[in-house]
Amino acid sequence: MAATKETLRAKDFTNSVKEITGLVRENYLDGLELSLSILEENRKALNSQVDQWFKFQQTYINAGRKLYEKFPKDIALFSNGNPVDSLIGLQKDYVDLIRKASEKFTKEAIDLSQKNIEKAFSLIN
């Protein structure tokens, strides 16, 4: 059978649609990866700010302890230091929990988005 003009047009159209679909898919994936990498960088910046805050807080507490150690033991409020240390430990544990949840969410969001995109474009193809 000889190919007619209509079958050639249909093949050309199908090939064009497949090429466009591939480009759309690649651009969508690139855009998604860019937005998620920005989210990841923002998370890293926030983590570094929290680390700096903990360092500042620890320096402040150490300076307060040194000051109060100079007073007689009856007046010194931070001579034992256990309540302050436990409060800082609780804060660090809480921030670590939030960091782990954030990292897990980011990784799962990336994986889920890529799987959804793959499924969506496999349906189109």
Query: What are 72-94's pLDDT values in tens digits?
Result: 665 545 445 556 666 677 778 88
Q: In percent, how much of the chain has pLDDT > 90?
A: 0
Q: What is the mean pLDDT of residues 5-10?
A: 63
Q: What is the pTM of this model?
A: 0.50
Which residue range is the domain that position 50 belongs to?
40-100
* Farthest-apart Cα atoms in the chain, separation: 107
Residue bearing tokens 């960088």:
41
Distance CA 29, CA 61 (A): 48
Count structural domains, the chain.
Answer: 1
Question: Does 35 fall in a domain?
Answer: no
Question: Does 12 fall in a domain?
Answer: no
- Tell me the CA distances in angstroms from 110 to 35, 36, 41, one per residue in order: 10, 7, 14
Question: Does 112 fall in a domain?
Answer: no
Question: Does 27 fall in a domain?
Answer: no
pLDDT tier at 23, thresholds 50, 70, 90: confident
Question: Does 20 fall in a domain?
Answer: no
Question: Does 6 fall in a domain?
Answer: no
